[in-house]
Structure 1
């Protein structure tokens, strides 16, 4: 029987770390909720959020448990574990490239946020976040999780404020939601797909390909599969509540966010101006924690953290990312990267379902670090 010890403090830290990682530039700026959900209107947008949450909970439940159970030497070994040696290598390198591209996209989001609020150049904001994230990544995975695990709840609170203001606006003007749900599709915002259920699926698949290695390393630091899975589910739930509130807010405050790279900041400046001095740094904090996580995960493919090789690679990747993060506007980068990643993940989820629920012996893999009771059959559900 597998040890199912659970520390609620650890569960909350893991959940907070998930929130901090997931609420990067796409969520914090409002671009992700806009392109995947809000452009479909408030009612379909809420349905998208619910379906997205259920799919993401399933992925977190499985992968956090796998990370704790298998204790991979390298988090990227998860692709060989689920897909076999050859196909696993294809996914491994695609994920490395995607994670690095996401890292660049998020730095662009940081630059856009700092420029929109503080008036400094976009490149200056990008460079500032990049350097801070690099210094954090050098601290190593455990320190990173400890730091962003505290940041996560702060993000949840401040992003929720926008949603609560929107709910207050709806209470005073009940027709605004239905009216703007029609108008939002004509407002010129970029949209991932016009088919709303498919938008939710692509959103979740993007999460899979983007977050799989983070799921694995987060699960590894837990003391039991149960603890890992509880942290994942709690983190997904909290994040998706925020996304639902943001979706409603973007529909309600449609006139405020037209033409804005950072919709959340535009809303905050209008409805809660007394909070904007705090809110802008919070958005930057959201992006910084996700950027640091992605940088660490990409660099871990090539070197163990806390080594000279790791530190040198982290600095080099930061310098390159700082350059490319200033080439394209943030919304264009997000609209290009997000749907491609979702489509690539379709086959990967098939491999995961096949090994977890159909043939547990498929693609034999022996992990050097795996300790005791590594079979799924030994897990006490």
Structure 2
């Protein structure tokens, strides 16, 4: 019974991590465009590189979260990196997460502005307030909410991908032409090499979600359930990447100059789909913003306490201000690639420690902390 897998729980947890990953950058199409689609057909191969790495990292982190029962999810950095380097990574993760929080707030404003033609600060404010209210409910409620939203996000991305496949089948030259033109259309690129772009994106996902992944692993009933949730989440996320890459290549001509490529594609496929997709993008951004905000505030206070609520309100207000003033695509291009590089050292240390643990040469005790998850 201790290794029994509850499939409903696996999909809730997998949905939660997908919802965490599929935030503003992904749902608007900017992340996938800059890391994958800009490389044309090779962007599809890059997605498989990403899948292999992200499933490996998630497997390790969820397993560690379930095994070590960290009292504070940020303790995972000291566990893998040691006391001093671990502290560097803890604060890097906090600063990074808050930067991503601002990026996603900007994405929310850009999306609502592009479709509803309202000032970006109104869209940013709407996302910020909705996310804050969710965060105040605590981590358990948040996981249950976004665990349902995650699969909905993927479903709508798949719809766009299927429409692109149908278009490509009717006009086979569109895919070939799009693949050849993508590098020449002026899109920002995370890297000059498609395989390295896929790897960098996996490292980005690792760095931005490490505390949350540890929390998901802890919420699983046992190591088998944790591992199943990690792999399921990685595979579902990759499916979404593949469909979106395909769509952006096929519809390359209509996404040039667009802050929100997915919305432009959805509008091309069907105005009704565009309306629905606007709601989905807002849901994507809201769930990811709420998740990231909660993990940032958890560094400083236990959820559902006065201190936690006060910090959450202040950080939301600051994020709403900066998210309304900085262009979204520039934020993505500046912040995300740097993060991917910074995650490489952590990934190496993480894998090295797991190898030592497996060989019985590491006697490190379980992570300690003064906050309960």
User: Unaligned stretches of 5+ in structure 1?
Assistant: 370-381
Runs of 4+ off more than 6 Å = none
Structure 2 counterparts to residues 209-358 of structure 1, below 5 A: 209-358=207-356
Q: Answer whether contact 2:68 2:366 (CA < 8 A) is retained.
A: no
- Pick which of 294-303 and 353-362 moved more: 353-362
The farther-off stretch of 353-362 and 118-127 is 353-362
Cα distance between partner residues in 2 of 1:362 and 1:29: 43
Query: How far, CA to CA, are the matches of 2:306 and 2:105 in structure 1?
Result: 24
Output aligned runs, 1:165-184, within 5 Å.
165-184=163-182
Q: Per the alignment, in what secondary structure is the counterpart of residue 74 of structure 2? A: helix
Answer yes or no: is the 8 Å Cα contact 1:84–1:363 preserved in 2: no
Aligned-partner SS, 1:75: coil
Could you list the per-position Cα deviations for residues 211-266 of structure 1 after superposition, in whole angstroms to 9, with x for gaps in the alignment? 10110011111100110111111111111111111001101001111100000000
Counterpart position of 1:47: 45
What does 1:173-212 align with in structure 2 at a 5 Å threshold?
Answer: 173-212=171-210
Deviation at 1:201, TM superposition (A): 1.2
**Secondary structure of 1:366 counterpart:** coil
- Please say if residues 105 and 289 of structure 2, whose CA atoms lie closer than 8 Å, have aligned partners that are also in contact: yes
Q: Contact 1:34–1:250 at 8 Å: present in 2 too?
A: yes
- RMSD of Structure 2 on Structure 1 (CA): 1.3
Taking the aligned partners of 1:309 and 1:187, their CA distance within structure 2 comes to 48
Query: 1:368: how far off?
Result: 5.1
Partner of 1:162: 160
Q: Normalised by the size of structure 1, how large is the TM-score?
A: 0.94
The alignment's TM-score, normalised by the length of structure 2, stands at 0.96
5+ residue gaps, structure 2, are: none
